[in-house]
Amino acid sequence: MSFAKGPPHFEPLDWSKPIRKSRRKLPHWVQDGATYFITFRLADSLPREKLDELDRMQKRWERDHPPPCSEEDWQQFHRESMQRVDEWLDAGSGECWLRDGACASIVTRAMHHFDGQRYFLSSYCVMPNHVHLSVQPLAGFEPSDVLKSWKGFTAREINKHLKREGTVWEPESYDTIVRDVEHLWKVLRYIGRNPVKAGIPEGKWVRWVSPLWERAGFGFAKTGESKGG
């Protein structure tokens, strides 16, 4: 596998193909066959004051960028705001149920369950209050389909394990299509280094990368690696 082309089952953003664009609080681009970097988080992982700060950031940005505003501008703003969100998530707010090995295992088993049938799962890191991953949905599936399945099943199982009721996951996730091989390297580096960067002790996170990608030279650094699945 050529390093210029990337590892097996990697498809970067192709500007010559259709892109379906939508927006809730965050922008979402969907392109058939593409590889995505996704972050989804527990519902209590950002305290109210941080959510209010995000709201103020967006209002200031909208004031400074009056219409017409391109989708590319929105994407750039949300990439920058997600950098701030990642810092807050790494601070470990909320109940951090995924520190519990049983809860983390529920999530990793769910992600692996339809691997090769509905999507190609290439990497992930389960942190105490959020999950980073890279994935390529297969024909007939979109990122929203995959995430809905994972969140629905894992919410029921986590609640059962914790003997609780109520919301587990924040409904909306962050997703972006990986633009090229250089962007992919950055994604893998970010996912791989997240636990050390956040100062999370080993045993409180689970990290995994596809053996296909490792054999192609697209893996994590070996230090402190923990396997899941």
Q: Rg of the chain over CA atoms, in angstroms?
A: 17
pLDDT digits (tens, 9 = 90+) for 210-220: 999 999 999 98
Higher-scoring residue by pLDDT: 76, 169: 169
Higher-scoring residue by pLDDT: 187, 63: 187
- The strand pair at 174-177 and 36-41 is best described as antiparallel
Q: How confident is the model at residue 71 (pLDDT cuts 50, 70, 90)?
A: low
Domains in the chain, start-ordered, CATH in brackets?
20-45+95-215 (3.30.70.1290)
Mean pLDDT, the chain, rounded, equals: 89
pLDDT digits (tens, 9 = 90+) for 91-126: 888 999 999 999 999 999 999 999 999 999 999 999
Q: How confident is the model at residue 1 (pLDDT cuts 50, 70, 90)?
A: very low
Distance of alpha carbon 98 from alpha carbon 103, whole angstroms: 5
Whole-number pLDDT of residue 174: 92
Whole-number pLDDT of residue 85: 77
- Count of beta carbons in the 10 Å neighbourhood of residue 143: 21
Whole-number pLDDT of residue 222: 57
Distance of alpha carbon 134 from alpha carbon 121, whole angstroms: 7
| pLDDT > 60? residue 225 | no
Q: How confident is the model at residue 3 (pLDDT cuts 50, 70, 90)?
A: low
Higher-scoring residue by pLDDT: 56, 137: 137
Distance of alpha carbon 110 from alpha carbon 149, whole angstroms: 9
Q: Over the range 65-101, which residues count as b (16 or more CB within 10 Å of their CB) and which as e?
A: eeeeeeeeebbebbeebbeebbebbbebbbbbbbbbe
Whole-number pLDDT of residue 8: 95
